[in-house]
Structure 1
Amino acid sequence: MNNFLNNKKILIVGAGGLLGVHLVASMLKQGAKVIAADLCVDLMRERLNTLGVDLNNENLSLIYLDVISESSVKSFFSTDLKIDGAVNTTYPRNKTYGSHFFDVTLESFNENLSLHLGSMFLFTQQCAKYFTKYQTPFSLVNISSIYGVVAPKFDIYNNTKMTMPVEYAAIKSATLHLNKYTVAYVNDSRFRINCVSPGGIFDHQPEPFLEAYKSHTHGAGMLDVTEIIGSVLFLLSEQSRYVTGQNIIVDDGFSL
């Protein structure tokens, strides 16, 4: 996949997160010009530096962007940025996110849908408006999840304090259809939106969970975050020129 993104300018929002920082590093290696955006630029800079990314690379720009702020997102897209695509890796949520099903209040549920799905809608909408205005090919990749596709396997959370948040399932499944709605509405093969739906990504979860999760895969267990990168790069590249409204599941068989 050498230089799949040569000279393409790609915006990554949530670029300071676990997936975001690895995407920045990989895209720079693929020859892309990267706009890395996050709420905390200093923390993003620190994490990229830890990963070995050259912060003085002329192809890298670090900017502040708040995806839950309509004014912030609209302001960003108000000028001709000459970008070829974007990846939304953001994950906004409130302080009570992650509660067990019967402990989730309607207020908290609604707030999390507003933060995460609402910001997904806003960002997707503004990408579509940007394309409509400038009429240059554009590829957007949103991140969904296996739990946007199949019901949770709750047994893997036994012997842990973890659960699979109901808000997450609602948001990630809705993301898949939001993509289809938007590309159908724009109705132009030059504007594409696709999803990557990862299985579990290793982030130092409890050992009982890791073992239980692995038993539902074909042997890989929780994936390293770098295993997700290739699918995103493919969807941003010319290799997927007529792939649109689709969802690539990367989970070593967990959802089968």
Structure 2
Amino acid sequence: MMLEGQKIVVAGAGGLLGAQLVHKLMAQGAAVIAIDRDLKVLNDKLENAGVDIHSHALQAVIIDLLDESAVVRFFDSVENITGAVNCAYPRNKNYGKHFYEVAQGDFNENISMNLGSSFLFMQQCARYFEKYQNAFSLVNISSVYGVIPPKFSIYENTKMTMPVEYAAIKSGLIHLSRYVAKYVANSKFRVNLVSPGGIFDHQPEDFLKAYKKETLGKGMLDVSDVLGSIVFLLSSMSDFVNGQNIVVDDGFSM
């Protein structure tokens, strides 16, 4: 098992990616601290992903990543963590409108909520490392749309769009992650990213067909297609991989 003896924090553990990641990490031998805002939702999502929520290898912690004092207290109290993955994606109720419909206030708020909470999480991971000086691997989840501009044609004949906030957040996250890696400047503290292509979540059929034509055959990814790259970055197999962004998209960005 690639993560035997590791203790990993997963933020946003009740999400589509987060719950399955917790299951994967535990299967690879890691102890996991699963963070989310709602205990019932978190437990339900973890159980649906096949996680034994009563396992001694799992600790559920309820924290709102927008609450700075709560995040700081968590990192001040936790011990022996070796890595962290931030799968959280906080946003307001108006998130996801088409470009001309986005109010500046909503744009600003979503950037603040999402990129701001990511900044806080990275800052506290770095402070934790500086305190203990033990090897630490931080993995952030960006997106193929943090690397390339949107392919708007694939959204035709649907009500979907690629939110402008998403592009700003995910591209900013890549540079912010590299900033943190360079600022800490220690080979034992690694900050990397995984940037998936689109992940299947019962999108409209027209979109799925159009998206698949832009790949080399897979089409939309399953969550399981992304997990191996995260495990790799958390493991000793990637000891000197630092400041990198692994794109997992079956050629969508080519």
TM-score after normalising by structure 1: 0.98
1:213 aligned partner, one-letter code: Y
2:232 counterpart of 1:225: no
1:81 aligned partner, one-letter code: E
Deviations 1:210-241 (A, max 9, x none): 00000000010000011000000000000000
1:56 aligned partner, one-letter code: H
Kindly report which structure 2 residues correspond to 1:1-256, keeping only aligned pairs within 5 A, or say none: 3-256=1-254
Q: In structure 1, how many angstroms separate the alpha carbons of the residues matched to 2:45 and 2:172? A: 30
Partner secondary structure for residue 72 of structure 1: helix
2:71 aligned partner, one-letter code: V
Q: In structure 2, how many angstroms separate the alpha carbons of the residues matched to 1:88 and 1:137? A: 18
Deviations 1:157-206 (A, max 9, x none): 00000000000000100000001111101010000000000000000000
Partner secondary structure for residue 192 of structure 2: strand
1:20 Cα shift? 0.5
1:128 Cα shift? 0.4
2:131 aligned partner, one-letter code: K
Q: In structure 1, how many angstroms separate the alpha carbons of the residues matched to 2:88 and 2:16? A: 10
1:127 Cα shift? 0.3
Identity percentage over the alignment?
Answer: 58
1:23 Cα shift? 0.5
Deviations 1:49-70 (A, max 9, x none): 1222111211111110111110
Mean Cα deviation higher: 49-58 or 3-12: 49-58
Q: Is the 8 A contact 1:80 1:134 kept in 2?
A: no
Mean Cα deviation higher: 75-84 or 125-134: 75-84
Q: How many residues align?
A: 254
1:211 aligned partner, one-letter code: K
Q: In structure 2, how many angstroms separate the alpha carbons of the residues matched to 1:118 and 1:232? A: 22
Q: In structure 1, how many angstroms separate the alpha carbons of the residues matched to 2:60 and 2:155? A: 37
Mean Cα deviation higher: 73-82 or 158-167: 73-82
Q: In structure 2, how many angstroms separate the alpha carbons of the residues matched to 1:235 and 1:224? A: 19
Deviations 1:121-180 (A, max 9, x none): 000011001101111110000000000000000000000000000000001000000011
Q: In structure 2, how many angstroms separate the alpha carbons of the residues matched to 1:52 and 1:180? A: 34
Q: In structure 2, how many angstroms separate the alpha carbons of the residues matched to 1:55 and 1:169? A: 34
1:80 Cα shift? 4.6
Partner secondary structure for residue 96 of structure 1: coil
Q: In structure 2, how many angstroms separate the alpha carbons of the residues matched to 1:165 and 1:72? A: 29
Q: In structure 2, how many angstroms separate the alpha carbons of the residues matched to 1:253 and 1:231? A: 16
Deviations 1:17-50 (A, max 9, x none): 0100101101111000010110011111112112
5+ long unaligned stretches in structure 2: none
1:156 aligned partner, one-letter code: I
